[in-house]
Each structure stands twice: as structure tokens, then as C-alpha cells.
Structure 1
Amino acid sequence: MSTLLGRLGGAAAARPWRTVAAWVLLIVAVLGLAQVFGGEPHDDYRVPGTRSTAGMDLLNARFPESSGTSARVVVHDRGGRALPAEPLEALRGRLAALPHALPVGQPIPSRAGDTALLTVGYDVKVTAFKGSTGLDALREAARATTDAGYQVEFGGELPEHFSAPNGMAEGIGMAAALVILVVALGTVVAAGLPLLVALAGLGAGTGLITLLSALTDISNIAPTVASMVGLGVGIDYALLLVSRHVEGLRRGLDARAAAAEANATAGSSVVVAGSTVLVSLFGLKLAGLSVYASFGYATFATVGAVMAASLTLVPALAALAGPRLLRRAERRAPATAPATATAPATAFAGQAPAAAPTRTERWARMIGRRPVAAAVLSLAVLLGLAAPLLGMRTWPQDAGSQASGNTTRKAYDLVAAAYGPGANGPLLLAVDLGRLPEPELPALAARLAADPEVAAVQPARINAARDAAVISVQPKTGPQDEATAKLLERLRDHELPGGVEVTGQVAAFSDISDRLAQRLWVVIPFVVVLSLILLTVLFRAPVIAVKAAAMNLLSVAAAYGVMTAVFQHDAGAKLLGLPHAVPVSSWVPILMFTILFGLSMDYEVFLLARVREDWLATGDARGSVVRGLSATGRVISSAAAIMVAVFTGFAIDPDITVKMIGVGMAAAVLVDATVVRMVLVPATMTLLGRLNWWLPRWLDRLLPELAIESAEPTGPAGSAQPAGSPSGTPAERPEPTVKV
């Protein structure tokens, strides 16, 4: 693999303009095809096999006129005066005249009379409305009402389905990333190169997602999540490659040789790290919801595109930049002799250091001297951060979780204030009159109305064929309240007779939350086992693989704890633009786990590749940890700072799910790159010593030989091979000369 990647890097550097032109043509072609043949993202929350889905299927089949989407229009007088009938009747007529709208019923006034609620039904599904067309039509119909001085807000499925694009998050993340890159690499040219590469991969990935939207369901927020991950890993991968390229230039290699060596060494780590992210995304398919699979498809396409851009565009752009990647003082210094196979890229044991120890080296040596204290302290910090996870509550995203500036949130608050919190999430009882006779409906409604947790029950509505009915039950508590969930569970298990199923948004969201909680324990073992196999094959060290999986689980648990502490308390929620504390979105835990487990492996691979490189060259188990951390600590810290900056930028996104993912992933990367990679990993590796690289003989015979990062520089002519073996010291077993 390293030889092939080295040749790819050398070829791209030898013909940089052709490579750049090829990427420009590729991006234009993909975006052009997406413009012509692409589809629109939309959410599909259908969960086959749940009771709410069975009830909704019954209503859609027996009430075909009500099987389309709907919207709520809330009219309010800010002065508290009673609303006159004339403007409401005029608004009702304009709403009924909208495309695909069904006849609109009479406005429902509040007790105070200062608020009215109109429900607009449509004869088509919500996916028939492209972009903001449905919401725009509602706003145009209400324009005369708002011009008359009344407040008009929109809720329901149609308005809540639309998610406005927000480019501010990406802009903030990229601006912060540029500053970090300038500090890390020392020149504006070197700092701008990773950003250009990430943008190129992001452009191709965006086009691929739009094309995928024409073939399958892609969630509304899946492109945003894919952009978040793609931008972060794209900059990180390019940074790793540029850093190795600059190392080669400093040792006197020309641009082509430096590009080939960077691709053969750091490029191999990029392939392994990116592949781990891609493999982890397969876990989303096991969640049992098509919306989760769409997150996997979108992120897979984007991460794949940025990986390809990193491995081809970085060598080309680095060759074009030439010595301008170096700091000015380095360009003016006398050139050193070109590196050869006898001058390895990294300083191993026995080589005199060229300069005084850096801060990273001093830190690595300190951890090596006190591994027990470092391991115990870092473990305590991780467990402390993870503690709030024990109190996590989950609930799918709804209007009650949105920022206070959204029209859907304003409509939600107006309805709650005027009609009671339960009016935002009525329970719909789908009744099969073939199993429950029609004469028993009044008694059922009266029994429900007498329930202490029920605010109101509307009379049963019977279909034209008189074989089905629907009863609307309004709880006294809101959709996110635990009391509502208990009421739903009690009705299903004890109160309702056969032939009656509870459906509607609250019931569907409760079923989704339960399904995701169950599937989480399927996804976690799947992702962990795949990662264990991959790391064992790559590093030929099962102890390291198990330890890496355990530490990644600790990182994810710490991120869950931070997210719970922030969003389930008023102070943290208000800091992020929410009016009060909210439960953690049910969509977030599985999605974050699959992505974070892959990203955590990125840093594990970056660090272990250098440690293993040193181990193969020296056979010094403890010293290789110190030198490997010294060589990678600065790059890992810079890469993590970029990731944190990118993810933090997404914390200002108006969508609550994106906001939570941004906060959780920023916390996870920060913890992983500091407490875990810089403290816990080197401390435990130092304590284990040679046991890190223990490999049973039977497993040694089964595993292929994979060269992740060669210890020797790779030039256009070829590459030298490491002399050691991961299953012993170099003197015990020479490593084969064939690379896979």
C-alpha cells in the first residue's frame, strides 16, 4: 500500500497542473450532474414494526383524504385583544386556495380569544414540497394578516420539515482552522493548502450527496452533518500530509521526492484512518431507520471524497508551492544534503538530537517517567466527565427543542400558552370498527376524558365507509414531558381495548426513541468489533487493538456526559441559544458513536504508526512511545484544535440535532486528543512495554503484513523496508520485504 501511494504522490507532484485541472473538471462535472439529475433531501421517520406505524397505516388506508401532510397556522393578537372573525375568515379562504390544500376547517379560538388555530391539510406527502416552497406559500397567504398587525406563526409537519441552510457554521470553523494552521505550519501558503484540499473534497462530496438524494432518502440535516465531518477530517488529513512533506523538504528532498515520501508514509495513515471512519459508518445501517442509513450514505460520500482529494491534491499543490511551504528563515538557510536510506525521517534511539527538546518531547518524557500517576489521573478525568451520562434523557427532535427565533418554535409556544402544553402533541387513537363496534366509541371517549392526565378528548371522527374512527386525546403535559410518555405507556398496556392503536407524532417519537435505545446495543458491538479487527490486522498487536477500543469507548462516554450536562441544564442550553433545558435528541447517540469511534481511531493511527515505526527500527518498547509521541504530538494537537474549531462552529446551527452533534463532537475530540492520546495512551503503553506488541504465533501466521508508515524515506525510485518485526525485536525476526 505504501509503495502504491508513494507512486501516486510522486506522479501527482510531477504533473501538478494536470492533477489540479482533473479535480476542477471532476468537481464541475459532479456538481453539474447534481444540478440536472439530483434530488431534494427529506426525512423519512417511518419505523416499520412499531405500534404507532400500524395505527398510522390504518388511518392512511381508511382516511385517504387525510393521508397527506398538514400545517398549523397560529394567529395571535399581541395586545391580548379578542381576534375579530373577518380577518380569520379571509385567511381561511386564502389557505384553502393554496396548491394541494384541502378545505380548511373553522378557526379554533383560545379561551381568551386572542389566539386562533387553523389546520391546513394537503392531499400530497410532505416530500412533494421542494425546499421552502410550502412554507413560502403559507407566508404569502398570511401576508395580509401580518400586515394588519397580527402575529402569524407556522407549525406542524410541513413547516417543521423545512430546514434553512446555514453557511455561517462552516465559515466560522474555516476561519478558526486557518489561524490554527498558520500557527502549526508557520506560513500562510502551507496553512491555506489544507483548506483548499478540504474544500475541493467537500465540493465533490456535496454533489455526490445531491445525486444520492435522487436515488434514496437523504435526511434534511444529513448534508450538514456530512459537511461537518468532511471538513474536519479533510483539513486533518491534508495537515498530516503537508507536515510530512515539509519534513522532507527540510531534509533536502526535492518537491517530488517529498510528496512521494509523504504519501507513502502519512498517506498510508490517512487511508487507514479514513477507512476506519468509513467502516464505522456502516454501523448506522443497523439502527433500523432509513434516516440513519442516509446519514451514513452522505458522510461516506463526503469522507471518501476528501480522502481522495488529500492523497492527490496535496502532492500537486505542495509541488506547486515548492519551498514556500517552509518558513522564510528556513528558505534562506543553506540547503542540507539530500536524505538517503541511511538518514531516516524520524530520529530514533541512538541518534543525537539536532536541537534542544521541544515542549512535546519534554511532555512525552514526563509521561514516560510517571506512567502510573498519568494513567490514574487521566482515567479519573474521563470518568468524571462521563458521569452525567447516567442521567441522560432522549427524545427525538421536535419544535419544542428548536431555538426561540424559529417560527415553528414560536407557534409551539403560542399553542402551549393558549391551549395547554398537550395541544402540541395530541395522541391519535386509530380505531378499527371491525374489532371495536361503533356504539362503544362514546364510552371509550368518556373513560379517556376522566383520566387525570388527560386535558381533553375530541368526539370520534368516523370515515365514510364507517369501518374506522379516529379519536384525538390531548394530554395535560407537553410532548417532551416524562408524564406524557407514562400516559402513552399506560394507555397502550392497560386502558385501551383491542382494535385501538395510539399513533401521532408523540407515539411515533416514543417508538423511535425506544427503537434507537435498543439498537444502540447492536451498533456498539458491531463498530467495536470491526475496529478491533482492523487495528489488529494493521498493527499486528491485539493488545493495542483492545486497549484502543476501550479508550475510544471512554472518549465517547465522556462526550455523552458533556452533552448531557450542557443541554439538560438551563444554563448550558441558554448559552447555546435555547430558551431552556431540553432532552438529548434521540438521533444523536448512535450517530455520534459511529462517527466519533472512527474519528478517535484517526488519532490512534497517527500516533501508533509513528510508535510502531520507531519500534520496528529500534526494538525499544518504552523509548518508542516517547519518541512516537514527540514526533506526532504537535500534529495531533493541531489537527484536534482544527476539528474542535470546526465542530464548535456548528454549535451555532439553528437545528437542535446539528447543534448537539457539534457540541458533543467538539468535546469528544478535545478530550480524545488531550486526555486520551497525550496522556492515557502513552502512559498505558509505557506500563505495558513489550506486551503492547505481543502476538500469538498462530495469529502471526494468519495476519497479512501491512506497512503503515515505513521508517525509511520513499523516493520516486522506490522505498527501503523496515528491518524489524511487530512480533518481536528486529534481531528476532526480520520483516518480509513484500508490502500489501
Structure 2
Amino acid sequence: MPALLSRPTLRTAAPRRPLLYRLGHGAAAHPWRTLGAWVVLALVVVGLAATFGGTPQDDYDVPGARSQVGIDQLRAHLPGAGNTAARVVVHDRSGGRPSDASLAQLSTRLQAMPHVVQVFPAERSADGDTAVVNVSYDAPVTDPDLMGNLDPIEAAVAPLRATGVQVELGGELPESAAAPMEGRGEIIGIVAALVILVFAFGSVVSAGLPIGTALVGLGVGSAGITLLAAATDVSTAAPMVATMVGLGVGIDYALLLVTRHAEYLAQGFSVTESAGRAAATAGRSVVFAASTVLVSLMGLRLAGLPVYSSFGFSTGIAVLSVMAASLTLVPVLCRFAGRRLLPRAVRRAGRRAGRRSVAGDVVAKSLRMPLTARWAVKVAKRPLLWAVSAAIVMLTLAVPALDMRTWPQDPSSQSTELTTRRAYDLVSAEFGAGSNGPLTVVVDRARLDESAVAGLARDLGARPDIVAVTPAVTSPDSAITVFDAIPAFGPTDERTAGLVRAVRAQLPAGAELTGGTAFFADIAEMLAGRLWIVIAFVVAVSVLLLAMVFRSVVIPVKAAVMNLLSIGAAYGVLTAVFQWGWATDLLGLDHPLAVSSWVPILMFAILFGLSMDYEVFLLSRIREDWARTGDSHGSVVRGLSATGRVISSAAAIMVAVFLGFASEVDVVVKQLGVGMAVAILLDATVVRMVLVPATMSLLGDWNWWVPRWLDRVLPHVRAEVEDDDVELWDEELRDDELRDHETETVGSH
């Protein structure tokens, strides 16, 4: 054994009946009080949300982005510029020419819409069968009156559509409402979770209990997010992300508690005692696992964009709510379910002859060398071969990530069933692909005169990657002059980022490049750089937390490396599926596309926390066994045997939930769903079933090595209950039973 190994020894005085034990035992002993408290809490939170809650609202401004300077100049000096816009594309399918009178009437109706500043004259295509009418507004798209509200513009174009002419809507405002969430993800995830749990545990009660608990916690968490929206800006996508993560971890946490509760029931303990012990053992893992998720989510603040902060806070509220529901409602529901949580064979055996003896024997027999234990033994026999093979698989899957190109999604990545995609395609076909992503040049007239502006426009127009330059427009106060440069390719083309950098290098002092395309290029560059900051923070804090809990240097470092492997492999699969186009048809997409710039950071923060969940669940049982037996190899087999079913079931539920969200129309949601499903699948199979047992078998007692000086410095936090605690609880339980018996005896006399 290593000289500096820190292995816990039996203590003479351990804390009896810890807080989590008392919480679980008390909730099960007084179920109606606990339910009443939850009803009151839910009514208060929902009432506050209904009275004072806000509405999720995006903030698309990015302080620090170079293009933001030009946007602020436009808003300050040119009415309608720098705010949201809409584009109405009118096309005659027969090849005819839309009449000037119909376009004039359309412009009149558009001008009458709320918040409209200007309706520009219609621009016709070269063959005349297509016309584009641009509309500018007096507020950003995030304005509550505008965001997602297509009713006014739909009413304005309805008379023209009634004549048989094709009318499609594009631009920032229609895009805000083009692909609404349809709620399929939640439904698919819940149904799949129910089916998986019924097959895994053979009991409808056991299957429904975790799902019900998660839904209650998620409901309260949703009200909490509404209250958060009253205090700060919350992205409209944040509740969706919070639901995705909250539903998954909520079921996981409840499932872990129910599984441990059923184990204690099978050993013959009463329902209330089982609930207390489950809360004190599995509950510790739940609390610590939730803490790692929260730490990862807080790393989103380092991404530098306000939208990520709202993702972190909203998802954190959901995680805290489902954790609280799991710790308090699971004991209550277990009390109501009684011994129906156990398989029928165990219940029959318990009724035939003494619950502790026969029921425990039946369970022990059913759990004797399950598949996960046999697998762990097989891996432990040749750990080096299995570890190298698994690492090769993960690294191979991660290779495509080296080619990953990130770019914010635009209508070109959407389904052809959406009007915004059809408008995009019409503009590309009739006016050129670059017309969907012009580069806007804003010139400060105090620094550049008329001749300098004309020379700049001429020089840009001479570039081979610029096909046209629009006439310059000077603001009413003569402070700025604005013109657009039309690229030779679309905004999602891989050459766009280089074009933005080249044009910026060509601009003289006093000129700024802005517009949607330049803004997207800035976001892609900023987020690519910030990703490494987020990774460093999340990994460092998570390693520290694991070191505190497991009193080891090797375990947390190894866990971080394995989590990075699973996330890297997920990035690789994401690149191959979307960017290389290997499975776009299966996902309802008609062409390959770049990975959304929003996805890598969000995926990392969420997945690292979720992966740590499974790490805590598994290692808690392994260390608990090792602390009792000192058998480093056997503890891996027994720990994997004890947690294999619950981790596999939890991972399968997570995968189902995330794939459910991949069925939504929005491409960013698709990519998040696919990426996180792949990562969880790999984490629960290749990592937990191969890499963890293989590396732990190779390292033996070195898994738990920690320098003595570090062991003294690190605070003591435990995610498992050790053998001496359980012995003391058994003593207390026997004392309680003896007192109850004496009381009954005295009463009978």
C-alpha cells in the first residue's frame, strides 16, 4: 500500500442520525405535513410568479464586440437603423411580375404597423418576378411588443397572399418566431423514462415515483425562473435548457434515492427507517452531485455574454428545485408506496417467512453476480487492454472536433417548411447569396470626408469577394454615413470570417464594420476564445470538490480527464453529424451546416456537471466498500454491481430526454440534444463500464492516494456513509425497538 495513502479507520464517536437522515425519516414519518409544506411552498412561489414574475426576454447586445460600436452609432444617428428589421419577399411562381399597385398597397399596410419607422421601396430581381420590401423598426427585436409577434406583419401580407402570390417573411423579427418550441422533447423524455424504469425495476410504482417527483420540482423551479425574469434579463431559450437539464437530473436523483430505499426495504427495515437511511446515504450523493452541476453552470458566467448567465441561473434554479423535491418528496411517496416498491417475488418471500431473512436472501440471490459485476470482473482481468481500447475509441470519435467550425445559426439552417427559410432561399436565388448577409460600413463624418467615403466604397467594391456596394446614406444630423458591401457568398460560408477580418483591416480609422454578418463573426470568435476559460474554471473547481469528498488526488484528476474525453467525443460526433453531414437527413435537415457558436460552451458546462453526477454515484459506492473492506479490486466490482443498474437506467433516461429535444425544429436545440445524448451515452458505457473499472484496477490502492499535507488542508466532505455510521444507526435502531417493546409490555400490565 502506498506510504501516503489516506484510508479512513473506524472512529469511536461518529455523528449519529445526520441531518439528511432526519430529513428523510421525518418526511416519511409525517408524509401529510411534508406534502402540506410543499403545497404551501408551491402556492407561494406560483402566486409570487403570477403577481411579480417577469417574461423571458433576450438581450442581443454584446458589449466588447467590435460590431457593437457600429450598431450603437446607427441607433444614435439614423432612425430605424441598428434596431430590428423585417423583410417581405414577394414572388410570382408563374414568372409574372408583381404589380406596382399591389406592392404599394403592401407598403402602406406595413407602414401602419406599430413601431415601424420606415418601409423602403421595393427592390426587384433581374427577371422581375421577385420583389423585396424591407421594414425597419424603432426598437430592438428583444422589445416585448416585437419579440416573437408576427400577428401585425401576417395581417399586412394576408391580402396579397390571398391573390395567389407567394409571400415569405425574413429578417430578424420573423426569425424570432419562426421555430417555436413545440414541447415534444418533454413528452418524449417522460414517456421514454417511464418505459425504461418499468423494464428496469419491474414495478410501475417504482417507475412512476421518480418521474412524479422530478415534475413537481420542475414545476416549482419554472415559477422560480419566472421570478428571476422579473429581476434580470432571462433568455427566451433559458427555460428550455433548464427544463431539459432539470427533467433529466430530477429523475436521476429520485431514482438513486428510490433504489437505495428499496435496498433497505429488502433488508427488512421499516419504510421510515429505509427512507432515513436512503436520504443519509444516497442523499449525500445527490447533494454533492447537484453541487457539481451548479459549479459547472456558474462557469457559464465566464463566457462573457449575458445570455449565458441567464442559462446558468435558470438551470441552477431548476436543479436546486428538483434536488429539494427528491430529498423530501421521495420519502413521502415511498411511505405511501410501502413495500410495493419491491418486486413481487421479494414481497411474496417476505410475507411467507420473515422480511429480514427470506426477503433479504431473495434479493441477495437476485443480485448475485449481475451482468455489471461479471463485466467488471472481466475488465479487471485485463485492465490495460481494456483501458487502451476504450481510450482509442474515445479519441477516434473526438478527431472530427479538430475540424469543428462554429457559427451562429441563421435561416439557411432551418427547415424548408418555415417561411424564414423560404424567404432566405428566394433572396439567394434571385439576388445572390451575399444579399442575405451584407456587411454594413458606418463612417464617422467628423473623421472622414465625402471623398474618403467614396474612395472607401470604391476600394471595397473592387474586391473579388465583394459583388456590389450600395449607395451611401448620410444620417439626418450628418454625423455618420452608411453603405453596405454585398459579399460574393452567403453568411454561413466558411470564408465569411476571413472576409470580415480582411475588410476590417482595410477600413481606415473612423470607419466601423457592423451588421448581422460581422456581428455573428465577432460572436463566433469571442465564444471560441472564452471556451477555454470556461473549461479551465469548471475543471479546476470540480477537481477540488472531488478531492475534498474522496480524499484523493488521482480520482478527481482521472475523473476530469475521462469527462473531457466524453465531451471531446461528443464534439467530434456533433461535427461529423452536422458539419460533415453524416446524419442530417435523419434530423430533418437538407444540407450540412456549422456547429452553432452557442452550443460548445453550453454543452461543456452542462455535460461536465452531469458526468460528475455519475462519477459521484459510482465512486461513492466504491469508496464506501473500500473503506469497509480495504479491498481495492473487489470494491470496484461490488461498487459497479451496486450502481450499474441505476446508472444505466439514469443514463438511458437522459439520452431519451435529450434525443426528444433533438426532435424540435430549432437547429440549436437539435444540436444540443444530439450532442448531450451522445456524451451521456458514451459516459455511461465506455467511460463508466470500461475506463473506470480498468483504470481503477490498474491503480489499485493508488486510487485513494493523497499527500498528508493536502489531506490536512482540504476540508472534509463526505458523499458516502462509512461502516461505523451504519453500525451506530443499527445500535440506535435496536435501542429504539427495545424501548418500544418495553413500553408495550408496561402498557399491557
Offset at 1:664?
0.3
CA–CA distance in 2 between the matches of 1:694 and 1:253? 36
Cα contact 1:70–1:156 (8 A) shared by 2: yes
Cα contact 2:213–2:330 (8 A) shared by 1: yes
Say if 2:621 is the partner of 1:610: yes
CA–CA distance in 2 between the matches of 1:240 and 1:352? 19
CA–CA distance in 1 between the matches of 2:683 and 2:492? 32
Offset at 1:32?
3.0
1:642-680 CA-to-partner distances (Å, cap 9, x unmatched) read 000000101011111111010000000000000001110
Cα contact 1:166–1:653 (8 A) shared by 2: yes
Say if 2:321 is the partner of 1:309: no
Offset at 1:634?
1.1
Say if 2:309 is the partner of 1:297: no
Which of these residues, 522, 526, 532, is aligned with residue 515 of structure 1? Answer: 526
The 10-residue stretch of structure 1 (222-231 or 393-402) with the greater mean CA deviation from structure 2? 393-402
Give % identity: 56
Structure-2 change in CA distance of 1:329 and 1:390 (3 Å): same
Offset at 1:432?
0.2
| Aligned residue number for residue 729 of structure 1 | none
Say if 2:118 is the partner of 1:107: no
Q: How do 1:94-243 residues align onto structure 2 when only pairs under 5 Å count?
A: 94-130=109-145, 134-162=149-177, 164-243=180-259
The 10-residue stretch of structure 1 (710-719 or 420-429) with the greater mean CA deviation from structure 2? 710-719
- Give the secondary structure class of the aligned counterpart of 1:127: coil
Structure-2 change in CA distance of 1:438 and 1:403 (3 Å): same
Offset at 1:213?
1.6
Offset at 1:203?
0.7
Say if 2:691 is the partner of 1:680: yes
| Amino acid aligned to 1:156 | G
CA–CA distance in 2 between the matches of 1:355 and 1:393? 48
Which of these residues, 64, 76, 96, is aligned with residue 49 of structure 1? Answer: 64
| Aligned residue number for residue 568 of structure 1 | 579
Offset at 1:17?
2.2
Say if 2:469 is the partner of 1:457: yes
CA–CA distance in 2 between the matches of 1:690 and 1:716? 25
| Aligned residue number for residue 46 of structure 2 | 31
CA–CA distance in 2 between the matches of 1:522 and 1:337? 58
| Aligned residue number for residue 744 of structure 2 | none
Say if 2:560 is the partner of 1:549: yes
CA–CA distance in 2 between the matches of 1:542 and 1:388? 31
The 10-residue stretch of structure 1 (33-42 or 527-536) with the greater mean CA deviation from structure 2? 33-42
| Aligned residue number for residue 732 of structure 1 | none
TM-score (norm 1): 0.93
| Aligned residue number for residue 682 of structure 2 | 671
Say if 2:656 is the partner of 1:645: yes
1:308-337 CA-to-partner distances (Å, cap 9, x unmatched) read 111111111111111121222222223576
CA–CA distance in 2 between the matches of 1:612 and 1:473? 63
Cα contact 1:378–1:680 (8 A) shared by 2: yes
| Aligned residue number for residue 735 of structure 1 | none
Cα contact 1:185–1:243 (8 A) shared by 2: no
Offset at 1:42?
2.6
| Aligned residue number for residue 283 of structure 2 | 267
Offset at 1:484?
2.3
1:124-145 CA-to-partner distances (Å, cap 9, x unmatched) read 2222235866312111111111
The 10-residue stretch of structure 1 (373-382 or 103-112) with the greater mean CA deviation from structure 2? 103-112
| Amino acid aligned to 1:19 | T
- Give the secondary structure class of the aligned counterpart of 1:707: coil
The 10-residue stretch of structure 1 (124-133 or 538-547) with the greater mean CA deviation from structure 2? 124-133
Say if 2:404 is the partner of 1:388: no
| Amino acid aligned to 1:402 | Q
Cα contact 1:70–1:119 (8 A) shared by 2: yes
CA–CA distance in 2 between the matches of 1:352 and 1:659? 43
| Amino acid aligned to 1:263 | A
Offset at 1:717?
9.1
Offset at 1:630?
1.0
CA–CA distance in 2 between the matches of 1:667 and 1:133? 31
1:154-181 CA-to-partner distances (Å, cap 9, x unmatched) read 1212122235232111101111111001
1:352-374 CA-to-partner distances (Å, cap 9, x unmatched) read 97764211221111111121111
Offset at 1:70?
1.4
Cα contact 1:46–1:53 (8 A) shared by 2: yes
Offset at 1:610?
0.4
Say if 2:101 is the partner of 1:86: yes
Structure-2 change in CA distance of 1:352 and 1:173 (3 Å): closer
Cα contact 2:80–2:118 (8 A) shared by 1: no
Structure-2 change in CA distance of 1:619 and 1:353 (3 Å): farther
Which of these residues, 596, 611, 620, is aligned with residue 600 of structure 1? Answer: 611
Say if 2:391 is the partner of 1:379: yes
Cα contact 2:85–2:134 (8 A) shared by 1: yes
Say if 2:52 is the partner of 1:40: no
The 10-residue stretch of structure 1 (538-547 or 62-71) with the greater mean CA deviation from structure 2? 62-71
Cα contact 1:260–1:714 (8 A) shared by 2: no
Say if 2:418 is the partner of 1:406: yes
Structure-2 change in CA distance of 1:632 and 1:449 (3 Å): same
Q: How do 1:695-734 residues align onto structure 2 when only pairs under 5 Å count?
A: 695-712=706-723, 718=729
Gaps of at least 5 residues in structure 1 are: 722-740
Offset at 1:575?
1.4
CA–CA distance in 2 between the matches of 1:224 and 1:104? 35
CA–CA distance in 2 between the matches of 1:458 and 1:589? 36
Structure-2 change in CA distance of 1:355 and 1:182 (3 Å): closer
Cα contact 1:713–1:719 (8 A) shared by 2: no
Structure-2 change in CA distance of 1:80 and 1:20 (3 Å): farther
- Give the secondary structure class of the aligned counterpart of 1:142: helix
Cα contact 1:6–1:715 (8 A) shared by 2: no
CA–CA distance in 2 between the matches of 1:522 and 1:407? 38
Q: How do 1:480-519 residues align onto structure 2 when only pairs under 5 Å count?
A: 480-493=492-505, 495-519=506-530
Structure-2 change in CA distance of 1:499 and 1:152 (3 Å): same
| Aligned residue number for residue 724 of structure 1 | none
Which of these residues, 692, 697, 701, is aligned with residue 703 of structure 2? Answer: 692
Offset at 1:25?
3.2
CA–CA distance in 2 between the matches of 1:688 and 1:359? 23
Offset at 1:544?
0.6
Offset at 1:404?
2.2
1:382-412 CA-to-partner distances (Å, cap 9, x unmatched) read 0111111111010012222222222222211
Offset at 1:691?
0.4
- Give the secondary structure class of the aligned counterpart of 1:395: coil
CA–CA distance in 1 between the matches of 2:541 and 2:330? 29
CA–CA distance in 2 between the matches of 1:542 and 1:229? 29
1:536-559 CA-to-partner distances (Å, cap 9, x unmatched) read 000001111111111111011001
Q: Give the length in aligned residue pairs.
A: 715
CA–CA distance in 1 between the matches of 2:64 and 2:217? 39
1:80-107 CA-to-partner distances (Å, cap 9, x unmatched) read 2221122211111111111111231211
- Give the secondary structure class of the aligned counterpart of 1:640: helix
Say if 2:467 is the partner of 1:445: no
| Aligned residue number for residue 524 of structure 1 | 535
| Aligned residue number for residue 3 of structure 2 | none
Structure-2 change in CA distance of 1:130 and 1:195 (3 Å): farther
Cα contact 2:290–2:320 (8 A) shared by 1: yes
Gaps of at least 5 residues in structure 2 are: 1-14, 733-749
| Amino acid aligned to 1:158 | L
| Amino acid aligned to 1:248 | Y
| Aligned residue number for residue 294 of structure 2 | 278
- Give the secondary structure class of the aligned counterpart of 1:589: helix
CA–CA distance in 2 between the matches of 1:315 and 1:297? 28
| Amino acid aligned to 1:688 | L
The 10-residue stretch of structure 1 (461-470 or 34-43) with the greater mean CA deviation from structure 2? 34-43
| Aligned residue number for residue 7 of structure 1 | 22
Structure-2 change in CA distance of 1:190 and 1:396 (3 Å): same
Which of these residues, 326, 341, 348, is aligned with residue 332 of structure 1? Answer: 348
